[in-house]
Amino acid sequence: MSRMCGGPVNGIGPLAVLALAAFAGILPPGAGASAAEKILRPDLEACTGFTANDAAPFLGVPPERVAAKAEKVHATLWMCSFTAGTADKTVAFSLEITKDPKAAAAAMERYRADLEIAAGTAPFRDRLPKGAWSEIGGDGLGDENVWTDVNGSFTARKGNVTVQVTQPGEKLDKIRVGKAVLSKF
């Protein structure tokens, strides 16, 4: 009898066990998929777990003064907002989920193309500092992302989920909010 890792080998290898488990439905969907292929299923109704505690530092108020709201726009799109009494004290972002990462990547490509068109026809087109859009580098910012001065938003895709941050007003704060939301799933 041969031995591997201190235990007897009895004809079924670890890959066969994983295959049998997946076939039997024991593993969760996507458990064997690579990160690029993984289907993410964050809780959109709960804003992926981003809470008043997460929003409070961006708003400069204690968490108990933050009002949270999640609104379903349609089956795959949710709007999340966190306010502290006034319009200038708001964290707002949308969450969109697609069937798979390829569909989300295609949607990001269309978004970049739309930004190019909007930037080319906007009356302020000559004042855009970096053209229609730019990608922001750094850890925790998703598989791809876009900052745009066209509408002043930060949009990031992680797998099949896209986050677009529209508030707070400052660029770096929007990027930090995006990173915080992405870290929740």
Tokens found for residue 166:
């529209």
Distance CA 69, CA 52 (A): 10
Instruction: Categorise residue 29: left if φ over 0, alpha if ψ from -120 to 50, beta otherwise.
Output: beta
Region of poorest pLDDT, from 52-56, 118-122, 136-140: 118-122
- For 76-88, write each residue's pLDDT tens digit: 999 999 999 877 8
- For 149-178, write each residue's pLDDT tens digit: 888 999 999 999 999 999 998 999 999 999
Cite the beta strand spans of the chain per DSSP E.
Answer: 3-4, 7-8, 67-74, 77-83, 90-97, 144-148, 153-158, 161-167
Q: Do the beta carbons of residue 146 and residue 155 sit within 8 Å?
A: yes
Asked whether residue 20 carries a pLDDT value surpassing 70, the answer given is no
Distance CA 42, CA 108 (A): 19
Angle at 100 between CA 94 and CA 105, to 5 degrees: 65
